[in-house]
Amino acid sequence: MSPRKAAKAPRTAAKAPRKAARRRGRSAGAWMAAGFAPLALGLASGGLSTPPVGASAAGMVPIGDYIEATAAIPSRGLSSPEEEVLETWAKPRPNKSRLGDCGWYGSEGADKDTNLRKNRTDLPPVYHAVSFEAITNLPSPMSATTRRDKWNQAQRDTIAPFDGVPVTVTGFVVVVRPQKNNSEATNCGAHGEDNTDWHIALVGYSGDTEDKAVVVEPTPRIKRHHPNWTPETLAPYVSAGDSVRVSGYLLYDPVHKGHLGRYRQTLWEVHPIHRIEVFDKGRWVDLDAP
């Protein structure tokens, strides 16, 4: 059997275990001094130019309650993804968005704490590129209930330093699972492609099976702004050996504890995702590109 192929994102050597003092010692000013890495469609591929340092979603043109994230928001550290998610990285506060009659908390009586995060449509000023293992190694309060609004403070404190961090991660798509025939409380129990998420299984090495996946999810509130995001468009990259790169918010989703060991290896997700890029013919291409 041939060796498993790692994703195209360059990997740095494994770092020492996290040390709280080092994490908290990195100031925001140090990150700004480092500057932004080129965009996926930037100078290296002859596409869009790199945005200036400090570029943010605040200066972009809103479309309804959403701002397009196809190219204007940079991913910092693409050439050397971090091997851990740092506590010092900003975690933007989720906005409150509606989808038709479905509000930001989803169904009445549902888990408001989780659903508010799933249904957010706000965008960050920057994404932090991280390795696949940086996500799978995040702490997980496995004894906690499937509703985070019922958690105790210690369980909340376990995920709080990382939940909502905007990240970019590279891997291989094993399967795309549209949920149009299913329903979830976050989407008020609605059915159909326009009202449901996708569950995309992303693995760190070509050949890994779905039980090794991190789930990344486009949501109906985000998908409607990305007409090129279809199962047919992604089909050539499913189990095909070509890397896929997604950007969005880290989210701990306790709802799917029953999926562990079969459809995923962690309850940490990238959810919602705002950008999908594919490695095609030697260069990164945004799935939104015409």
DSSP 104: T
Q: Which residues pair with 247 in a beta bridge?
A: 168, 275
Look at 47-56, 69-78, 276-285 and tell me which has the smallest mean pLDDT: 47-56
Per-residue pLDDT, averaged over 177-181, amounts to 86
Look at residue 94 and tell me whether its pLDDT is greater than 70.
Answer: yes
How far CA 165 is from CA of 128, 195, 211, 268, in Å, comes to 8, 25, 24, 12
Look at 33-47, 55-69, 131-145, 190-204 and tell me which has the smallest mean pLDDT: 33-47
Q: What does the pLDDT look like over 213-230, one tens digit per residue?
A: 999 999 999 999 899 999
Q: What does the pLDDT look like over 30-63, one tens digit per residue?
A: 322 233 222 222 222 222 222 322 233 333 333 3
Cα pseudo-dihedral 15, 21, 22, 27, rounded to 10: 150
How does residue 164 score in pLDDT terms, banded at 50, 70 and 90?
very high
The residue among 188 and 139 whose pLDDT is bigger is 139
Per-residue pLDDT, averaged over 222-242, amounts to 91
How far CA 211 is from CA of 72, 98, 215, 239, 247, in Å, comes to 34, 33, 10, 14, 21
Q: What residue has token string 């989720």?
A: 94
pLDDT attached to residue 25: 34
Average pLDDT, the chain: 79
Prediction pTM value = 0.79
Cα pseudo-dihedral 257, 260, 161, 103, rounded to 10: -50
Most confident of 57-61, 184-188, 269-273: 269-273
Per-residue pLDDT, averaged over 183-192, amounts to 86
The residue among 51 and 171 whose pLDDT is bigger is 171
Residue 176 in contact with residue 200, Cβ under 8 Å?
A: yes
The residue among 48 and 198 whose pLDDT is bigger is 198
Say which amino acid occupies 105: Y
Look at 19-33, 94-108, 258-272 and tell me which has the smallest mean pLDDT: 19-33
> Which range of residues forms the domain containing residue 209?
5-286
pLDDT attached to residue 162: 98
Per-residue pLDDT, averaged over 8-13, amounts to 42
Look at residue 85 and tell me whether its pLDDT is greater than 70.
Answer: yes
Q: In total, how many domains does the chain have? A: 1
How does residue 283 score in pLDDT terms, banded at 50, 70 and 90?
very high
Q: Kindly report the three-state secondary structure assignment for every residue of 216-241.
A: ECCCHHHHCCCCCCCHHHHHHHECCC
pLDDT attached to residue 181: 81
